Structure 1
Amino acid sequence: MVQADAFILVYSLVDRHSFKAVKDIRDQIVAIDKTRHAPIVIVGNKLDLKSRQRHVHRALIEAVVKSKWGHEYMEVSSKTDMDVTDVFKIAMRGASSNFLLQAALDNRRLQHRRNANENLNTRNRSWTPAFAVFHSINMSLPTPSFHSSTSGSESSFRIAVMGASAVGKSAIVNRLIHGKFHRGYAATIQDRYITDIDVNGSRVMLDIFDTPGAYCFANVRRLAITNSEAFVLVYSVGDESSFENMAKIRDLIIQEKSEGVPILVVGNKSDLTTSDRFISKDKAYCMITNGWNHQYMETSAKDNVNVSEIFQLIVSQTRTYFHEKRRRMTTPAAALRRLSCKLRRSKTLN
């Protein structure tokens, strides 16, 4: 058990005793230090049987598995091969994300120990762990290799696409990368894409993190916030709760980064009719631009409206942010602050 990176626990939808057995196994897994944080997928099999044969309603099981335990839940039919491969995809993605998170934490702890003995500048302390982690993981995970340049480069940017579940984050990214729109929905654990786009006549490399919307992957979202330079926050114009969820993510970003970090708020599913919207475009624009001082854009991944424009706008915004940041760093006051920090570190080491 301690050698596994992820767990798929299967019970029968028509046998309540099998669910109790799965619960006991799950309790054993979370009680072991080495497997406590390993991703677990609870699977109800025999979905092909009639609904009246179920021992409990799906909503009740999901409430326990997702809300109380914080695990992913799926129902399948091995007899008809319904959603079987999706179970293993979710488990593999969860294992990859967990490995990524633990590697980042281990790398950061190692870096902090080194910083106690070495005179590293602030930027190296902030970004070196992330570069080391993502570069090493690219050697084994099925993500494209990417040698990131320095923070705030004119030609490469790390962008996190964040928001609630089912608002169309992955649909937007897939429309940009592949030019396609998939009508089906599959929950994202974590995906990463490398692509280049044209911004004002120059090619720009984008390192895009497509983050999960499910609350049980909060650690993955925090890791994306830490290692990204700019953020595209997506909500559905037809779902008020997705806007509230997006606002909470924005607050997390502001706490982790700073008030001026590049953020673009995107209202997806602009193809919906006026009666299906919970907020008008003008009201949303006023709220975002005046209340939060962020730029706002509406898009439709389905109809391919404003998809590439989203990333062009966030790149331009990020460039401006880093230009201003570098300008402030070159002022006499900034030079004096850096000198003061160096002196304090030198006294600490001595």
Structure 2
Amino acid sequence: MSPLLQKLIILGDGCCGKTSLLIVFVHGTFPEAYVPYVFDHYISDAINIDGQPVALALFDTGGGEDYDRLRPLSYPQTDAFLICFAVDNRNSLENVRQKWIPEVNHFCPDVPVLLVACKTDLREDPRVQRRNRRIVTTEEGMEVTKGIGAHYYIECSAKLGEGVTEVFRVAAAACLRVGPSNLHAQRRRCVVL
């Protein structure tokens, strides 16, 4: 059986962990140096979801304001959005509500959304604790998930490799649960003018 190809767009503020998450999933190694990507894409190996092989077309996007007009050009035919935030940056979670969900709802209102907490290893990092930064808790992430109407909430640490594969397995499963007839209807709605 040939794999279904599902398109995932990864959104979130700059430096929230989007690119590291993608690189660890696709290449299996954590990038030690920060390399900002504006727009990049990867095709994953097929993963098995309930007997159906699924390959993922993964689109990394620029989170900065400079790309607000360009970013939506990558949205047509999107099967799911991963909206990422960093647990050590409360502003990145607030921007999920203020920027990312409104943008997704405007361009692709019926496409599944997963809220992804990145950098969970920093919850135990003494350097973060010494700076008295309030870390976003799992409970807070789940509360935001309900408030924005996201389909799933999942946490990961690309640095430690924890939860990375699960993020993409859950996303692929969410795409399949929508069903082929619904996907085509959603794709017609995901239009950029």
- Of structures 1 and 2, the larger Rg is shown by 1
C-alpha distance 319-154 of structure 1, shift in aligned 2 (>3 A): farther
Secondary structure of the structure 1 residue equivalent to 2:76: helix
Secondary structure of the structure 2 residue equivalent to 1:238: coil
Counterpart of 2:115 (choices 265, 268, 292) is: 265
Aligned twin of 2:33: 184
Shift of 1:154: 7.2
* TM-score, length basis structure 2: 0.81
Aligned twin of 1:303: 160
Q: Distance in 2 between matches of 1:186 and 1:174?
A: 11
Shift of 1:203: 2.2
Unpaired runs of at least 5, structure 2: 186-193
Shift of 1:204: 1.0
Secondary structure of the structure 1 residue equivalent to 2:11: strand
Contact 1:211/1:220 (<8 A) preserved: no
Shift of 1:264: 0.5
Q: Distance in 2 between matches of 1:323 and 1:188?
A: 32
Aligned twin of 1:325: 182
Aligned twin of 1:165: 14
C-alpha distance 190-231 of structure 1, shift in aligned 2 (>3 A): same
Are 2:149 and 1:293 equivalent residues in the alignment? Answer: yes
Unpaired runs of at least 5, structure 1: 1-152, 329-350
Shift of 1:230: 1.0
C-alpha distance 303-277 of structure 1, shift in aligned 2 (>3 A): farther
Contact 2:101/2:148 (<8 A) preserved: no
Aligned twin of 2:59: 209
Structure 1 vs Structure 2: percent identity of aligned residues?
Answer: 27
Q: Distance in 2 between matches of 1:293 and 1:165?
A: 23
Q: Deviations over 1:256-307 (max 9, x none)?
A: 112x32110100011012644432111211231x212321011000000111
Give the number of the structure whose residues are more often strand, by fraction: 2
Q: Distance in 1 between matches of 2:135 and 2:181?
A: 37
Aligned twin of 2:72: 222
